[in-house]
Chains A and B, each alone.
Chain A
């Protein structure tokens, strides 16, 4: 220890120099925005690279486990799929509590998200019992409505469509609203014309209302991101984030409302005003 102090004393000039330079450097980094951002950015890049390298390695190590769980999951899904294909009316596969909705899995063949009007092409058509105006959902939420069918394929108008209007409700208080898409970002939709007495806060869940005969009640649409108060108007707007990632859809479910015809007939029999 004594020699250490002797060493320090002997080179005190150099160490004093280091101390002063260190102070100066701290001052530079803490007080000059440009230099500070430079340091933060470069350290971020360094730590980011280190983290990604680390996860690459750990991912590789857990590959075997992942494969195993995926294979197990595949087996379960296959057995369910077979059951579904062999018995289309098996009530186990109704996602809604209403027993008059059926789900049919389908693969997405083509998909777009960057137009004002977006369509999906599915590998199920007339021969599979698909009809126009059936709803389409994915495992994460609402997708769209079948609008044209051929023998083996169907075309789906996704809710990313400038004319799409989905009857929805706020989960916490069952207030009815309409979800539309304004045509900009495929991740966000808009709730238009919210009466002023209805308050939506960011984080509120928006689900389908079940009023439309197309979707059963309770399918997830998205969560509220922003509530926009239109001062001086009666109706407010809200931004929502769709729960479905439209850009990465690969499997969807087509929803068949078995009682649709009956309900339609009933509605049509009502006297016009």
Chain B
């Protein structure tokens, strides 16, 4: 438990720094910006208490917000997906698969499961984030294009890092 706790804290710090110093400076096409730090919320263990889930999501969103001068935007989107995460996991996972000690990821639950899981959460997160940024549904299709393009990029990064990091620990 202690080990998991420390790993998550390190992951928290690393992802925030990676997001604000590298990804926020990459603006593809002017307005496509991946939000890779959400990976942290995706990877939190299944056993995480619900209050901790919400608080840590709020904290990581807030940290990114502080660095990118958009106080409240990221934290609102993160809290939303943290709230939806337990329900989503229940619907995606059958009881049979659910053993203790399992971690969310391709390694334990398979590529299709993880892809569905991350696509849904990332899309919701980006949707909330970009529409909060636009603060309304005027210019809907432009914002929607931003959501789709940025989600695609974030999901690509997440799947890539699954193969880069998770498999190496297995070896």
Contacts and interface: CB of A to CB of B under 8 A. Distances in A.
Interface of A: 12-14, 16-17, 20-21, 23-32, 34-35, 38
A27 B71 contact: yes
B123 interface: no
A23 B71 contact: no
Contacts of A30: 71-72
Interface string B49-63: 011001101100110
B73 A20 contact: no
Contacts of B86: 13
Contacts of B80: 17, 21
Interface residues of B, number: 23
B29 to A, nearest CB: 21
A18 to B, nearest CB: 9
B42 interface: no
Nearest to B79: A20
A38 B73 CA distance: 15
26 contacts: A12-B50, A12-B51, A13-B54, A13-B86, A14-B83, A16-B50, A16-B54, A17-B79, A17-B80, A20-B58, A23-B72, A23-B75, A24-B61, A24-B76, A24-B79, A26-B72, A27-B71, A27-B75, A28-B72, A28-B73, A28-B132, A30-B71, A31-B71, A34-B135, A35-B132, A35-B135
A13 B135 contact: no
Contacts, number: 63
Interface of B: 50-51, 54-55, 57-58, 61-62, 65, 70-73, 75-76, 79-80, 82-83, 86, 132, 135-136
Contacts of B132: 28, 35
A32 B79 contact: no
A25 B61 CA distance: 13
Contact of B72 (A16, A17, A25, A34): A25
Q: Find the residue from A14, A17, A23 having the highest chain B CB count within 10 A.
A: A17
B44 to A, nearest CB: 15
A13 B83 contact: yes
Q: Find the residue from B50, B75, B135 having the highest chain A CB count within 10 A.
A: B135
Given A20-B54, A20-B79, A26-B72, 12 more contacts: A12-B51, A16-B50, A16-B55, A17-B54, A17-B80, A20-B55, A25-B72, A27-B62, A27-B65, A28-B76, A30-B72, A31-B72
B interface majority secondary structure: helix
Contact of A27 (B54, B55, B72, B135): B72
A31 B65 CA distance: 11
A35 B62 CA distance: 17
A32 B72 contact: yes
Contacts of A20: 54-55, 57-58, 75, 79
A167 B51 CA distance: 78
A16 B76 CA distance: 13
A38 B133 CA distance: 11
B10 to A, nearest CB: 24
Contacts of A27: 62, 65, 71-72, 75
Contacts of A14: 83
B58 A32 contact: no
Contacts of B136: 38
Contacts of B55: 16, 20
Contact of B51 (A13, A32, A38): A13
B156 to A, nearest CB: 27
Contacts of B82: 17
B73 A32 contact: yes
Nearest to B49: A13
A51 B62 CA distance: 38
Contacts of B51: 12-13, 16
Contacts of A35: 132, 135
Given A32-B73, A34-B135, A35-B135, A24 B58 contact: yes
Contacts of B50: 12-13, 16
